Structure 1
Amino acid sequence: MAAHPGHTAPRPAVTTASQPPSSLDYYLVLPRPGDPDPATAVGGLVVEEFTREHDQVSTGLDSAGWTPATGWWSSASLSRGIRTDPATLARVVPTSRAQAEGHYRRLGGGQLPDEAVLRSYFLAHQPIPTAAPLRLGPAQPPAGYRERRVYRVLFAKDLHPDQVTSLRAGWRTPVDATSTSAASGHLETNVDRFSWELRRVGHTRAWALDVIVLLGTAADDVVGSALSDLTRVLRQHGLIPVTTERFS
């Protein structure tokens, strides 16, 4: 992954304090076909974070990339290219912070900076256009709930059949689920209900997770936690989130 003609990030001191649970998204960058050392399984890292409205709709994306040759750098086109350029998309693999730390150390970067420092590398913001929610489905929530919301989280890359099988098992998808849904699930608490379906969209070139939320509470953080958990599961299966939209 060559240096991008964007903004080069500074090199602040690495923090050695204990790190909080990861809230950023981490990706491994594989070498280009024909690179001099094909034995090098990972050539660099990308770190990202979405910005969101209070209701969890995506408004933008910040990112920074790192390679041993370039250090940390940031460009608004970095994350856009990951999602729109097939060659770049094929070289980027979602990972955890723990795995990113190991590769960063192996590639000579030392200790991976904590997330507050990594955010200081986000020097070029990529806006995501937003619009007022479309009204899909009934305007009024069912009895016992105060609000009904519908979200769609779009993803790039593809899933292998065994990954779909794993999702269906983890989400306990009914065997008689509709043919338009690859996997589905639901979660109920004492006051809220979440149900979701994963399906192909865009002539099978992308995936969409459609989530129906029935709220008995007034807390947006309940929605944010559920959407984050679902997105994290799909990242663990290899998909790359593109945006979160709201339809009601």
Structure 2
Amino acid sequence: MDYYLISAAAGDPEPAEILVEEFVLNDDHTAAGIDSAAWRAGSWAGAPALTRELRSDAGLRARVTAVDRPAAAEALALLGGGELPDEAGLRAHFQRQPLPAESPLDLGSGPAARRYRILFAGQLGERELADARAALRLEPAADPRVAGTAGADGFMWELRRIGADIAWCVDVTTRPGGGQDVTALGALLHHHRQAIRGLGLIPVTIERFA
């Protein structure tokens, strides 16, 4: 699960609300939806509208901090919300924000590479970009839109800027005909999503293009 603290104003260190999200994944590790609940005004409730706003409103993102479960539990206690429910208890409050479902592009009948894209809302400053390169073990790329590339165990990935200060993505490509383990792919996508999320970007979806 992903935990976020939301302050009343940008720059305010004290949280006012807590958002909990969980990506709903298909068998191929693409995203089917985002389940969420928020603690606000003294109670938990489903938060699909807040989930949508977080990905479309830069002003809201400026008030949001990604945290781990212990930090969320500490914040909830300070806000007078008592003990943070376990994951099953949080799921009881969830409501789902569906994500668009499209069939991957068929590039032919031969053994083609598969390309997955983890899309993020927000921007990376120079320090965060350096941290992202370190977290993903990236090497420099010739393309100015690409912050770096790396690869291991039949997978290749790159951190890419989308548009002019619009968004970022991590593209993960499998080797054609490589037969990469599905579990390993899921673990890699999860690691990359959490690594970039921890630097301040908000994961939007996970798509497959081939």
Matched to 1:94, the amino acid is A
SS at match of 2:114: strand
Mapped partners of 1:171, 1:129: distance in 2: 27
Alignment of 1:120-199 (within 5 A): 120-122=92-94, 124-135=95-106, 140-141=110-111, 148-175=113-140, 177-188=142-153, 193-199=154-160
Alignment of 1:218-233 (within 5 A): 219-233=181-195
Q: From the superposition, tell whether residues 247 and 30 of structure 1 become closer, same or farther in structure 2 (CA, over 3 Å).
A: same
Q: CA deviation at 1:245?
A: 0.6
1:100 and 2:72 aligned: yes
Aligned position for 1:203:
164
Q: Residues 22-44 of structure 1, C-alpha deviation per residue, up to 9 Å, x if partnerless?
A: xx0111101136xxxx9662112
**Structure 1 segments unaligned to the other structure (5+ residues):** 1-23, 142-146
Mapped partners of 1:118, 1:125: distance in 2: 13
1:112 and 2:89 aligned: no
Q: CA deviation at 1:139?
A: 6.0
Instruction: Say whether the 8 Å CA contact 2:140–2:148 is kept in structure 1.
Output: no
In terms of Rg, which structure is larger? 1
Instruction: Say whether the 8 Å CA contact 2:135–2:195 is kept in structure 1.
Output: no
Aligned position for 1:29:
6
- Relative to total residues, which structure has the larger strand share, 1 or 2? 2
Mapped partners of 1:40, 1:230: distance in 2: 27
Matched to 1:60, the amino acid is G
SS at match of 1:98: helix
Q: CA deviation at 1:62?
A: 1.0
SS at match of 2:152: strand
Q: Residues 115-138 of structure 1, C-alpha deviation per residue, up to 9 Å, x if partnerless?
A: 11111110x3211111110246x8
Q: CA deviation at 1:65?
A: 0.6
Instruction: Give the TM-score normalised by structure 1.
Output: 0.77
Mapped partners of 1:39, 1:162: distance in 2: 21
Matched to 2:74, the amino acid is G
Aligned position for 1:213:
174
Q: CA deviation at 1:218?
A: 6.4
Instruction: Say whether the 8 Å CA contact 1:47–1:63 is kept in structure 2.
Output: yes
The alignment yields a C-alpha RMSD, in angstroms, of 2.2
**Structure 2 segments unaligned to the other structure (5+ residues):** none
Q: From the superposition, tell whether residues 187 and 218 of structure 1 become closer, same or farther in structure 2 (CA, over 3 Å).
A: closer
